[in-house]
Copies of this chain bind each other. A is one copy, B any other.
Amino acid sequence: MSVRPPARTGDPVSAVDTPALVIDLDAFERNLDAMAAYAKAAGVRLRPHAKTHKSVDVALAQAARGAVGQCCQKVSEAEVLVDGGIGDVLVSNEVVGESKVRRLAELAARATVSVCADDVEEVRAYVAAAKGAGATISVLVEIDAGAGRCGVAAGEPAAVLARQIMDEDGLSFGGLQAYHGGAQHLRTPAERASAIASAAERVRKTLDAFDKAGISCPLVTGAGTGTFNEEACSGLWGELQAGSYCFMDADYARNQPAEGSNLPRFEHALLIATTVMSVAVPQQCVIDAGHKTAAIDSGLPVVWRGDGLTYAAANDEHGVVTLKAGATRQPSLGSRVWLVPGHIDPTVNLHYWYVGVRGGLDDGVVEAVWPVSARGCVF
């Protein structure tokens, strides 16, 4: 099922076929450098989340800047990363189902692999699979850090589960997974700080219960692009799992940034190149990018540097871009419209290729063409 890329190295950016994901390599590298420098200065590990980029090439670029490994959500993502040369992957999720757990264990036999648990039945399945594969799987206890989705309750239930992991041959206890997904897009710094403060209470309660039970916790891992400074400054989390920072998106751009000169500011480094394909209806144009190109679960994509243009409606293959009141100049048929993705992770997942451009989106040249290695990896 091989699909040709929308550009070749050496092409001018104007020649990139559309719609396509275009990485502004200069901005992308600044984002990677900024987060690496932040983590180093804060004394925490960085384990970027591949659910955002789904790319071996991006993961390798992060490794080159000191990332300790990658996170992902699915065993098939982990397989792609390991097959691409990434040596250490945390599946920051529970894995349930005989086939998946067997594949996880087989992967653990050839790379450093960790996974989460929030139920002893999961632990039992991990044990059986680890034995079958002759591997050791590192298992972290996931607590519900406030999102109310997965995870055991903080405190004693977490200690009970940790003990169940430690009692098993074939497993090692990797620590605590505490990720508050619901906090990432709270719009004000105060709301985010408060949400992570609550998460931190749950972590402390859990670490106290571990102490009482004589359990040593090797690591607390979590955080995302919206909140990572809160987790780092709490002194509790030793590893950050931010993903979106590498590219950013319109939803994160609606967060009010926290104050602080030491805090990295990430730039929009991934834009969607589109073409105007109809100008037949007045006061609008239609571009070749709907929600099969740009995910709309967290809002519509936003026109980049689009004076007078609003991405108003997404159909499957078409985007209706309206002219703002007072604007009269319809973009011409065949002209380029750049979009900031509404939500980067599911947008990336729709595509086969990244086109990496050096020298900016106006005059740049295609320098890199990277596959979206783990696109569509759902099991």
Contact = CB atoms under 8 A, between A and B. Distances in A.
A314 B119 CA distance: 22
Q: Is the interface of A mostly helix, strand, loop or mixed?
A: loop
Interface string A7-43: 0000000010111100000000000000000000000
Interface string A338-352: 000000011001111
A281 interface: yes
Contact of A150 (B51, B100, B280, B350): B280
A297 interface: yes
Chain A, interface size: which category?
Answer: 35 or more
Interface stretch (A163-171, A185-193, A256-264, A287-295): A287-295
Give how many copies assemble into the complex.
2
Interface stretch (A197-205, A211-219, A316-324, A360-368): A316-324
A118 interface: yes
22 contacts: A1-B3, A3-B376, A15-B99, A17-B100, A18-B379, A19-B378, A19-B379, A51-B316, A93-B277, A96-B276, A96-B278, A97-B334, A119-B278, A119-B279, A122-B333, A144-B280, A149-B281, A150-B280, A288-B379, A291-B346, A316-B345, A349-B350
Interface of A: 1-3, 6, 15, 17-20, 51, 73-74, 76, 93-97, 99-100, 118-119, 121-122, 142, 144, 148-153, 181, 275-281, 286, 288-289, 291-293, 295-297, 314-318, 320, 333-334, 345-346, 349-352, 371, 373, 375-379
